[in-house]
Structure 1
Amino acid sequence: MNAPTRNWADLQAPSLDDVEILARDALARLPPEFLALCEGVTIHVEDFPDDATLREMQCESEFDLLGLFRGVGLAQGGEVATGQWHNRVWLYRRPLLDYWAEHEETLGHLVTHVLVHEIGHHMGLSDDDMAAIEAAADE
């Protein structure tokens, strides 16, 4: 049996809005106890990190960073001081798409992985904890 063919000529790369929808869908699938700890964390999608972030993170290329948590994580006390930005997760569309094109996983899985990893930094979780949360989101 032949698999149906897709009209690749009409497809476009996922937009910033598409990646944000994937991230919000991924967030909704995460375990409730994890979500409860994410209260107040916002998700932002940009094409690339800004130059200051690239320098701060010591990136050699604008494609080196898939996502980033900014703020005061629960592991650091979680209190946001006056004048301080609230907790945010940044997802970078073009580096995500570049990584996706070179690996055999779905874009949805990749966005979930990066989102859990960055929020995991917020909560001070171990890599094993984050892997378990990702597995629960995939069920």
Structure 2
Amino acid sequence: MDLPIDWTRATPPDAADIEAIARAAEAALPEPFRAHAAALALRVEDFALDDMLDDLGIEDPFELTGLYDGIPLTEKSVMDQPMGPDTIWLFRRAILDEWCQRGDIALADLVAHVYVHELAHHFGWSDDDIAAIDRWWE
């Protein structure tokens, strides 16, 4: 059997691979979005931390592919005392699981979508605002 990819040596994308894809999506953003995105921390973990899931009322860690942790620009004040950098979290295993289940999208496109979705929260957009311009599920 002649396979198009040599799967005998293939390994799943690791955290560094997912981060590289997200950074490429960041680099492709138009200004001024790119500058704001570059100021955020980016963390890639296999799954969301238990306290994140608890705060969101999510039991299954495969249900959360990304999270924005910070104060949206529309709510920031000079009086705010930063507790740490605003952060976009990407959850590798949940992203890979969605990618496998969908089977209709490139991994880079999915990672970019999750990254940009979380970045939109940084700009103060609600999930409804994002859905109005990005009908991802269709």
Residues 119/101 of structure 1: CA separation in 2 closer, same or farther (3 Å cut)? same
| Equivalence for 1:136 | none
Change (3 A) 1:36 1:19: same
The match for 2:112 is 112
- The aligned runs of 1:1-139 (5 Å cut-off) are 5-77=4-76, 79=78, 81-82=80-81, 84-103=83-102, 104-125=104-125, 126-127=129-130, 131=134
TM-score by length of 2: 0.84
Question: How has the CA–CA distance of structure 1 residues 78 and 46 changed in structure 2, closer, same or farther, with 3 Å as cutoff?
Answer: farther
1:52 partner letter: D
Q: Percent identity?
A: 33
Deviates more, 1:82-91 or 1:56-65: 82-91
Displacement over 4 Å in runs of 4+: none
For residue 30 of structure 1, report the CA deviation from its aligned partner.
1.1
Q: Which moved more, 1:52-61 or 1:72-81?
A: 72-81
Shift of 1:34: 1.6
The verdict on how the C-alpha distance between 1:26 and 1:78 changes in structure 2, with shifts beyond 3 A counting, is farther
Tell me which of the two structures has the higher relative contact order, counting C-alpha pairs closer than 8 angstroms and 6 or more residues apart. 1
Do the aligned partners of 2:26 and 2:38 also contact (CA within 8 Å) in 1?
no
Inter-CA distance 64–85: structure 2 relative to 1 (3 Å threshold): same
Q: 1:78 to 1:120 in 2, by over 3 A?
A: farther
TM-score by length of 1: 0.83
1: CA distance, partners of 2:49 / 2:79: 23
- d(CA) in 2 for partners of 1:70, 1:23: 16
Farther-moved stretch of structure 1 (81-90 vs 99-108): 81-90
Q: How many residues align?
A: 131
Q: Structure 1 residues 49, 79: closer, same or farther in 2, change over 3 A? A: farther
**In the alignment, is the contact (CA less than 8 A) between 2:47 and 2:94 conserved in 1?**
yes
Kindly provide the amino acid, as one letter, of the partner of residue 117 in structure 1. Answer: H
Question: Is the partner of 2:71 in helix, strand or coil?
Answer: coil
CA distance in 1, matches of 2:50, 2:37: 27
CA RMSD across the alignment: 2.4
